[in-house]
Structure 1
Amino acid sequence: MTPSTSHSGAPHAHHHGHDHHDHGTPDQQDGLAEVLDLDAELFAPYLTSVTARVADAAGDGGVTQVVDLGAGTGTGTFALLERFPGSRVTAVDSAPDMLARLAGSARAKGLGDRVRTLETDAGTGLAGIEGVDLVWASASLHHVDDPAAALAGVRAALRPGGLLAVAEMDGMPHFLPDGAVAERPGLEARCREALSALHAERLPHLGADWGTLLTGAGLTVEQEHTEHLELRAPLPASAGQYAHLVLSRIRDALDGRADPADLAALGTLLDGGPQDVRHRDDLVVRSTRQLWVARRPADGS
């Protein structure tokens, strides 16, 4: 984000995410950071509405101590700092390069005194962190090996009455109109199916029933919200770049796992030619995003 996933939630190839076990090569990391930032730019109104929902749930109790779990490039961190002006955020990620980038952005924005970073994996708990008012987890929790253990760690870090906001998405966005590659109808649907099979192997908790998991962790679910987002022409130029980066990562992830003809057709959308997604005026960016807001019981139980 995103949709982190942190951010509003970003598309997934198997090596993609905010806080995960394999961030890949430096080039892949740079590409991931750009995907996260472009996703945040394109879906900024959604992120604004989501943080407003969290603020409504927080009410007048005050939010001063926040954890951004799987912070990525810091989209969620900065949105939360704006939403809760008196807050400080601990940005958690397993990738030191992402944290360094986030810290640099915080200093550039004059927010360095309100942000600290913590390099750790989202699934290993939040040792040394307690009394937190809000934990924000955008497109990060599905990367953990044991969601129950991760949620137990989050719960322990929350103060009684504190909130956990879990933001997720349903996989890769859709970009292509029908007939985008005339000789390969249904290309995007088949790529999505192949990617879902890969996720089932490597990210088994993507698409999990987080409401049930949150309840099982002793948290009270107060909000569940699903939103179907669609961006149509006229789109900013960044939409084409976003589509190019996401589809490039998907092609890499599906190398050897998808029909070679489909991979070749994907290549025509990425090769700088007339069908390249960066040159098209018929893109439609569609994504489904979900939010759960849960509370640790105020009695501390």
Structure 2
Amino acid sequence: MAHDHMIEMLDLDAEVLSDYHRNLIAVVGAEAGDHPHIVDLGAGSGTGSLALARELPGARVTAVDVSPEMLAHLRGRALEEGLDDRIRTVEADLDQPWPDFGPVDVIWAASSMHHMADPARALTAAREALRPGGLLVIAELDSFPRFLTGTPDEPLEALVHTEADRMRHEAGLHMHENWFDRITEAGFSGVSEKHFEIELPGPLPRAAARYAEVSLGRMRHRLEGRVADAQLAELDKLVTGLGTRDDLTIRTERTVWQGRR
């Protein structure tokens, strides 16, 4: 069930923030050449792999993830969209020695590098996997989406995010790593950085309300024992009512880095 909610959240992120994702794909399209082999690190539900194959008709994509459930979902989506001939999946733990992907033109890591146990080692592995002149693209979240800015429930949402940030820090996730410096230190050249401030005003489509439900609902279930029971009850009521609200907005920030071997 946890995987189901994660898959739904990732798929909704791609749907609701489609303009951002198209801009992200355009980074690769402008730099990768006509027939690139792209390795998608931590592919998750496959939103990146599918978009890359869809938007770059000459591309071949290798989607890598540790979760067989995620990869099965990805293969099903690829088959439905007629992209299964250009997307292959590899189950691998990227904190262990990487498998041989063959010649690689682009390493793509969207919201996955912060999960690596040792980012420096992962970047070294990425550089070694790329052909000379190959492209590295890293996209990370500066802030998780907020949906209730300017509403009476904004303080409760802020509390949830504060506690969730604390849990990520305790888990050792590299949420606010200086990726520009890390990429440079790993030996990549021409490193660049682009920041995206995403603001979607209301009224939002139904998919955005569901995105809010799933996002805040996942956070709520991790807060047992970390916040007061009264706050959990208040949060339960909030999540349950998100689908009927017309005052939701979306605000989030993301940054994209690229460099070449």
Q: Same fold (TM over 0.5)?
A: yes
Classify the TM-score, shorter chain.
over 0.9
- 1:158-173 residue pairs with structure 2 within 5 A? 158-173=130-145
**Residue 53 in structure 1 maps to residue 12 in structure 2:** no
1:63-109 CA distances to partner (integer Å, 9 max, x unpaired)?
A: 42110111111111121113322111000000001111111111111
| Per-residue deviation, 1:292 | 0.4
Partner of 1:8: none
Deviates more, 1:152-161 or 1:74-83: 74-83
Picking from 229, 241, 246, the partner of 1:281 is 246
The answer as to whether partners of 1:66 and 1:88 remain within 8 angstroms in 2 is yes
Partner of 2:161: 192
Partner of 1:235: 204
- 1:35-114 residue pairs with structure 2 within 5 A? 35-58=9-32, 61-114=33-86
Q: Which runs of no fewer than 5 residues in structure 2 stay unpaired?
A: none
The answer as to whether partners of 2:203 and 2:249 remain within 8 angstroms in 1 is no
| Per-residue deviation, 1:221 | 4.3
| Per-residue deviation, 1:170 | 2.1
1:150-177 CA distances to partner (integer Å, 9 max, x unpaired)?
A: 1111111100000111011124211113
| Per-residue deviation, 1:137 | 0.4
- 1:96-135 residue pairs with structure 2 within 5 A? 96-135=68-107
SS of 1:228's partner is strand
Picking from 197, 214, 226, the partner of 2:183 is 214
The answer as to whether partners of 1:221 and 1:295 remain within 8 angstroms in 2 is yes
Q: Which runs of no fewer than 5 residues in structure 1 stay unpaired?
A: 1-26, 297-301
Distance (whole Å) between structure 1 residues aligned to residue 199 and residue 11 of structure 2: 18
Distance (whole Å) between structure 2 residues aligned to residue 108 and residue 180 of structure 1: 42
Distance (whole Å) between structure 1 residues aligned to residue 46 and residue 209 of structure 2: 22
**Residue 295 in structure 1 maps to residue 240 in structure 2:** no
- 1:252-267 residue pairs with structure 2 within 5 A? 252-267=221-236
Structure 1 residue identity aligned to 2:42: G
Which has a greater percent of helix? 2
**Residue 176 in structure 1 maps to residue 148 in structure 2:** yes
The answer as to whether partners of 1:132 and 1:162 remain within 8 angstroms in 2 is yes
SS of 1:122's partner is coil
Partner of 1:28: 2
List, as ranges, runs of 4+ consecutive aligned residues in structure 1 with deviation greater than 6 Å: none
1:216-265 CA distances to partner (integer Å, 9 max, x unpaired)?
A: 11112432011111111221111111111111111112221123332222
Distance (whole Å) between structure 2 residues aligned to residue 293 and residue 63 of structure 1: 19
| Per-residue deviation, 1:28 | 0.7
Distance (whole Å) between structure 2 residues aligned to residue 83 and residue 154 of structure 1: 23
Structure 1 residue identity aligned to 2:31: A
| Per-residue deviation, 1:112 | 1.2
Structure 2 residue identity aligned to 1:210: W
Provide the TM-score with structure 2 as the length reference: 0.95
Picking from 213, 216, 220, the partner of 1:247 is 216
Distance (whole Å) between structure 2 residues aligned to residue 126 and residue 115 of structure 1: 19
SS of 2:7's partner is helix
1:2-51 CA distances to partner (integer Å, 9 max, x unpaired)?
A: xxxxxxxxxxxxxxxxxxxxxxxxx0100111101111000111111111
The answer as to whether partners of 1:131 and 1:157 remain within 8 angstroms in 2 is yes
Partner of 1:19: none
The answer as to whether partners of 2:12 and 2:207 remain within 8 angstroms in 1 is yes
Identity %: 43
CA RMSD of aligned residues (A): 1.5
Structure 2 residue identity aligned to 1:120: A
